Amino acid sequence: MGKLRQMAMGCGFALLAGCGDGLEQFGGPTMGSTYSIQYVRTASSPSTKELQRQVESILGEFDRQLSTYRSDSVIEGFNRLPANSCQAMPEPVLQLVRTGEQLSQASAGAFDLTVEPLLNLWGFGPQARALKVPDVQALAQAHQRVGHQHLRIDGEQLCKDAAVEVDFNSIAAGYAVDRIVALLGSQGIHSYLVEATGELKAAGRKPDGSAWRIALEEPRDDQQVAEKIIAVDGVGVSTSGDYRNYFQQDGRRYSHTLDARTGAPITHRLASVTVLHPSALAADGLSTLLLILGPEQGWAYAEQQHIAAFFVMREGEGFVTRSNKAFEQLTAAKP
């Protein structure tokens, strides 16, 4: 389940403009990608160096707990356990499992945190060997090890009744952003733009009084082009798309975004979805959920649940876009 980096239009990013005094920034590597923080310093805020130390402590903790790309992480220890096993888990893991369950139920099983065996089989997972269409028998066997219904939380333990493997890549970065935002708030910082592996949340204003502006990418795999520029305040921003990570075989395109119900990549014409939500975690998960559901079912779900969404769909050699009222209201020009 893939995420796309937004282009934040402020200090340290493309289209630098209007930064002024009082804006601090730092960043670095995280979760196989990068993170960046911009914030308006206050009289009570700690030094940038100390704040960076605290932020990187959160990110390091998340990596040790949630990464499927390091064998010593907490979740990889759980993933190696056989069926009918339990393991004590830190609260962030349990909270993300609960979020995954809600998203799975909301999508009738299309979104699922346990798709890692399928991702590996198609060539997109952490233990993948090759990008190829798997044979029918292998696909059926892997599908038997997928399903959120095989997970349950028992007190502080996570348990499984099948040999499922949990992968938090579709929601972990959004949760990390929310945790960093909470840290900034505890330090009296309320004007900021926080980004981790492409997931964002912005609030307040820059020192010159201008809004934080985000450039949403056009869904192209050859270059970065801004599709739409939005001003955001108090919301997380997440875009999920299927156009950067895929392969072609026998003239057919296979996306890295899988529908857990079929065990296969999505095939509809929805290329990307951007969701705005007060919670970066919710935006992160919902953008993936809507992308999997597709242009009709996903749109209907967004409207029913009042989710602020911006859809980009393939049409011929180009794209068409569609945004709902909730999205337009949150991105309306502000003085």
Question: How far is Cα 263 from Cα 161, in angstroms, rounded to an integer?
Answer: 20
**289-to-38, 53, 89, 155 alpha-carbon distances in Å:** 29, 33, 25, 28
- How far does CA 309 lie from the centroid of its chain? 15
Report whether pLDDT(219) > 80.
no
- Of 38-47, 243-252, 317-326, which range is least confident? 243-252
171-187 average pLDDT score: 97
Query: Between the CA atoms of 213, 219, 221 and 224, what dihedral angle is there, to the nearest 10 degrees?
Result: -20
pLDDT at 15: 31
pLDDT at 318: 87
Confidence of residue 317 (pLDDT cuts 50, 70, 90): confident
Closest-CA residue to 201 (of 236, 175, 239, 172): 236
Percent of the chain exceeding pLDDT 90 equals 76
Average model confidence (pLDDT) for the chain?
90
85 token code pair: 């096993």
Closest-CA residue to 171 (of 193, 192, 199, 143): 199
pLDDT in tens, 84-104: 999 999 999 999 999 999 999
Q: Can you point out the beta strands (E) in the chain?
A: 7-9, 23-30, 33-40, 85-88, 151-154, 157-160, 192-196, 199-203, 212-217, 226-232, 235-241, 246-249, 252-255, 258-259, 264-265, 270-277, 308-315, 318-323
pLDDT at 18: 40
pLDDT in tens, 254-310: 888 999 999 999 989 999 999 999 999 999 999 999 999 999 999 999 999 999 999
pLDDT in tens, 159-176: 999 999 999 999 999 999
Reduced to 3 states (helix: H, G, I; strand: E, B; else coil), residue 295 is: coil
pLDDT at 2: 44
Question: How far is Cα 54 from Cα 50, in angstroms, rounded to an integer?
Answer: 6
Report whether pLDDT(31) > 50.
yes
Report whether pLDDT(20) > 50.
no
Looking at the DSSP bridge assignments, the partners of residue 230 are 214
pLDDT at 10: 41
pLDDT at 34: 95
pLDDT in tens, 134-152: 999 999 999 999 999 999 9
Domains along the sequence of the chain with CATH: 70-160 (1.10.3980.10)
| Tokens 């020192």, located at residue | 207
